[in-house]
Structure 1
Amino acid sequence: MAKEREDTVTCDPEDDSVVVRVRGDIDAESAPLLKEALRTARRSPSVCTVVDLSATEFADSSILHVLLEEQETHRLAGRPMVVAGPFNESIERLFEVTGTTGYFVFTDDVTTATEAPRAVTER
């Protein structure tokens, strides 16, 4: 089970960005893994942090709390953070129902986010 949890969130350099990938379900138990991965990404010398939610099947409010907190921390550090899809219906709904879609920069996929991170985040 511990190995499963470790694989839920990964943090890897890709082009000029660090991509934090979230797979499967993420909840209060695994949200600290996301928080730590985003902290690691923020401290890296890359240009941008990309949060890849394309393989996330379910997320509760704990992921939203971590993303909102890290979005602000990234902004204060002058580091763009982009949330990449494509998103499954439950993830889209989480952002829509909570009214938080305006707090993030979203892209359709990781490739779009990593190809031009500054252009994506400056829109």
Structure 2
Amino acid sequence: MRVITVALLFLTAATAEAGARYQVTAKDGDKEVTYEVNFGGARKFERWTAFDPATKKFVYLDWNRDEVEPKPAATIWNHRTGETIKLYKFPGVEAPLPVIPSITEMKVCPLTGDKNFKAKRLLNYD
């Protein structure tokens, strides 16, 4: 029993830093849209995900884990929630964007507006 507990703790710790790729399937009227998106980094790097509405693409900000995380380029205040949202400069993107922390935090498909999209984990990477 002790070996199983140690193995589970090791497995949990090993996957805590792992990133994942998801396949998202969403409705756009009668049409079905499918795409892939990554969340999280790996052992040597961290990754943040955002969606660029200008190019309609997911973008990624990566940095080495032994470096300081990027500082916000700007902040905005959400009048509906009172929350201050940090915006970051993503490579190849003109305007600063908010980070989408995880697939579970993404409540609406940014490509279609579908609130009932399905996400399937395709793989973990580390």
Q: Point out the structure with the larger helix share.
A: 1
* Same fold (TM > 0.5): no
TM-score when normalising by structure 2: 0.29
Q: Point out the structure with the larger strand share.
A: 2
